[in-house]
Amino acid sequence: MKNNIFPHLNTTYDVVGIGMGPFNLSLAALLDEMNNVHALFLEKKKYFSWHNNMLLDNAMLQVHYLKDLVTLIDPTNKFSFLSYLASEKRMCQFLNRKTNSISRNEFNQYYQWVASNVKNVKFEENVKKIIYHDRKFSILSENSIFSAKNIVIGTGTSPHIPPCFLDALSDTIMHNSEYMNKKPHIDFSKKTVMVIGGGQSGAEIIHDILSSNHQLSKLIWISRRSHFRPLEDDCFSNEFYTASYVNYFMNLPKKSKEKNLIEQKFTSDGITQQLSDHIYNKIYEMKFINKLRTQFTLLIRHSPKQIKKMRNKYEIDILNLDTNDDFIETADIVILATGYEYRLPSFIYGLFPDIKNVREFEFNRDFSIQWEHHPHNKIFIQNGSKHQFGVSDSNLSLLPWRNAIIINSLLNKQVYDVDIDQPIVSNAYSSYEKNNVFNKIHSTQREIYV
C-alpha cells in the first residue's frame, strides 16, 4: 500500500546523504549518472553555500583548482571545474591569467553550479532524527520521512568559541563566520578592534580591515602561536595530501598518529605567504610611510583569559603564555578567528545515545563506522575522522578519492580504481605498495573490518 502522506517512504534509497557541503556534493556529483545507485541528498539550507560569510574579496583558494569535486578520480566527469569554465565560456580568459591561484568566490560559484545541476538533492530538509529498524534507516526531517539502506553524514564543522566568550557573543563580539553579515552594520571608525586567532582566517580578517580604510584607533591581533606561522605549502608537504599517505597513516599506532597530526598542522592551518607578506607591508606603509594614527599591537604566545563588558567597551584579560603574566586590553569590537570543530549532529544520538564525541567511533577503511549492523547498513561520516585518517581528512584535496572509496563500498565492487598515485617519498610509504587495501575493500568482509 502506498504512503500518500510521506511519498518518499514508498522508496528505499540505496544511500541518503545528510548535509550538502563540498564533501557530500562531491559524492552527489560522482553518483549523478550511476543509474544502478538510487541516491538522495538532504540539506537544511535553502541553497548551497560554502562559508559564505568568509568569502572576502581577496580570499584565495588554498588548494589547486584541479582538486575539485571529481577530477582526481574521474577527469572526464561533467562536473569538473574545467567543465564549469567551459559552460561559462571563459576557459580562454581563465588560462590567460597566467596563475594557478583562484579566489574562493570563484570556487564557490563552481560548487553552486554543480549543486544546481545534480539531480538528487533536496534543499530545505532539516533532518531531526534517524531510526533504525528492519535493516533500513528512517530519516525524519521537519517536512518528510525518507528510507535508506545506508547513510552518509556530511553536516560539516561548527565554529569553535573559546569558553570565556560563550556568554559574551553580541553584535560586536563575533566568530569570524559571522563577520561578513555583521560588518556592514558596524561603525569601525576610531574604534579599537581585536582579532583573536593567528591562522589563515584571522589573517584574512586583518587584511580586510586594513584594506577597508576604517581609520581605526587601534588594531590588536592575538595568537597563541610562537609567531604568525606561514602555511607549509612546499611540494614535500603536499605529499601528506595523497591517497598513499592516508593508507600509511591509517596503519600507524595511535601515539604516532597524534604526533604526526601535531607536526603536520601547519600544512593546512598556516597563513599563505602572499597574505602574510601583504599584511606586514600594509602595516609598514600605514605606520612608517603614511604615519597614520592607528596603533598596532600584534601579540604572539598570548591568549584571552576573561572578558568583561564596561559600558560600550570590553576589557579582555590577556595571558602571556611564556611568562604566565596577564594584563588588560580594551576593545570596542572583538572578532574570534578561533577555528572550527567537528560536532556530531543531534540526530545521530537516536542511534548512539551513549556516544558524545566522534573520536569514540572506530572507523573502517571505507570511512564508515563500526557498529552492530555493518556491513548490511553502513554509516559513513565525512570530515570527522582526522584522528583516524590524517591531516587530509578535513581538507578539500582528496574529496573525490574518498567518495570513490565510499561508492566502491556501497556497491561492493570496484567501480573506481582508487590506486591513484605513486609517492615520491617512498621510504615513508613503503607499506603502501605492499598493503594498498582501498582497492580491495569490497572484496571480503574481513578487509572491511581490518
Instruction: Give pLDDT tens digits for 115-162.
Output: 999 999 999 999 999 999 999 999 999 999 999 999 999 999 999 999
CA distance 234 to 270: 12
| Statement: residue 260 has pLDDT above 50 | yes
Q: Is there a shared CATH topology between the 8-157+342-449 domain and the 161-231+269-340 domain?
A: yes
The mean pLDDT value for 179-201 works out to 96
CA distance 2 to 182: 48
The answer to whether 264 and 387 have CB atoms below 8 angstroms apart is no
For 23, 388, 413, the CA distances from 369, given in Å and listed in that order, are 17, 11, 19
This prediction has a pTM of: 0.92
Which of 370, 367, 362, 353 lies closest to 401, judged by CA?
367
The mean pLDDT value for 335-340 works out to 98
For 25, 132, 404, the CA distances from 438, given in Å and listed in that order, are 21, 28, 10
Q: Strand locations in 11-126, DSSP E?
A: 12-18, 39-43, 121-123
CA distance 444 to 440: 8
Q: What is the pLDDT of residue 434?
A: 46
For 193, 196, 222, 286, 316, the CA distances from 305, given in Å and listed in that order, are 17, 12, 12, 30, 7
Give the pLDDT confidence of 419-433 residue by residue, as tens digits: 999 999 875 554 444
Under DSSP, the state recorded for 422 is: -
Q: Strand locations in 89-209, DSSP E?
A: 121-123, 127-133, 136-141, 145-153, 158-159, 173-175, 192-196
| Statement: residue 33 has pLDDT above 50 | yes
Give the pLDDT confidence of 77-127 residue by residue, as tens digits: 999 999 999 999 999 999 999 998 999 999 999 999 999 999 999 999 999
Q: What is the pLDDT of residue 374?
A: 87
Look over the chain and give the mean of its residue pLDDT values, rounded to a whole number.
92
CA distance 99 to 89: 18
Q: What is the pLDDT of residue 432?
A: 44
Give the pLDDT confidence of 301-336 residue by residue, as tens digits: 999 999 999 988 999 999 999 999 999 999 999 999
Helix and strand element counts for the chain (H, E)? 14, 17
Q: What is the pLDDT of residue 57?
A: 86
CA distance 232 to 268: 7
Only one residue has cell 521537519, namely 142
pLDDT band for 439, please (50, 70, 90 cuts).
low
Backbone angles phi, psi at 136, to 5 degrees: -160, 160
Only one residue has cell 582528496, namely 398
Q: Which amino acid is at 223?
A: S
Q: What is the pLDDT of residue 312?
A: 86
Q: Is 198 exposed, middle or buried (0-12, 13-18, 19+ CB in 10 A)?
A: buried
13-23: burial string, b at 16+ Cβ within 10 Å, e else: bbbbbbbbbbb
- Domains of the chain, residue spans: 8-157+342-449, 161-231+269-340
Give the pLDDT confidence of 376-389 residue by residue, as tens digits: 999 999 999 999 99
Q: What is the pLDDT of residue 52?
A: 84
According to CATH, the superfamily of the domain at 161-231+269-340 is FAD/NAD(P)-binding domain (3.50.50.60)
CA distance 108 to 106: 5
SS3 65: coil
Out of 157-171, 264-278, 365-379, 434-448, which region has the weakest mean confidence (pLDDT)? 434-448
Q: Quick one: what percent of the chain has pLDDT higher than 90?
A: 87
The mean pLDDT value for 207-232 works out to 95
Q: What is the pLDDT of residue 271?
A: 97
CATH architecture for the domain at 8-157+342-449 = 3-Layer(bba) Sandwich (3.50)
Q: Quick one: what percent of the chain has pLDDT higher than 70?
A: 92
